[in-house]
Amino acid sequence: MTKPTAKEANTKPKKKKPLAVNKRTMSVRERIENIKAQQAWDKEWENDE
């Protein structure tokens, strides 16, 4: 979903500031997703053991 918007932002050089903000929010979202994934893996390992 975010890829097409990124392409649109790339075609319009005037939208550099919103792009930077999007990168920040995406990095935060990725960190949250990574933490959730790690917690899920930990639960699976506990169940296996």
* 13 assigned to some structural domain: no
Distances (CA, A) of 2 to 6, 8, 26, 38, 41: 6, 10, 9, 23, 26
| Domain membership of residue 48 as a residue range | 18-49
Q: Distance (Å, rounded) from C-alpha 24 to C-alpha 15?
A: 15
Mean pLDDT, residues 19-37 taken together? 81
Give 44 or 21, the one with higher predicted confidence: 44
Is 27 within the bounds of a domain?
A: yes
Tens digits of residue pLDDT in 16-25: 566 666 677 7
The structure's pTM equals 0.41
- Say whether pLDDT at 1 is over 80: no
Answer whether residue 4 is part of any domain: no
In this prediction, residue 24 carries a pLDDT of: 74
In this structure, is residue 42 part of a structural domain? yes
Query: According to DSSP H, which parts of the chain are helical?
Result: 2-11, 16-48
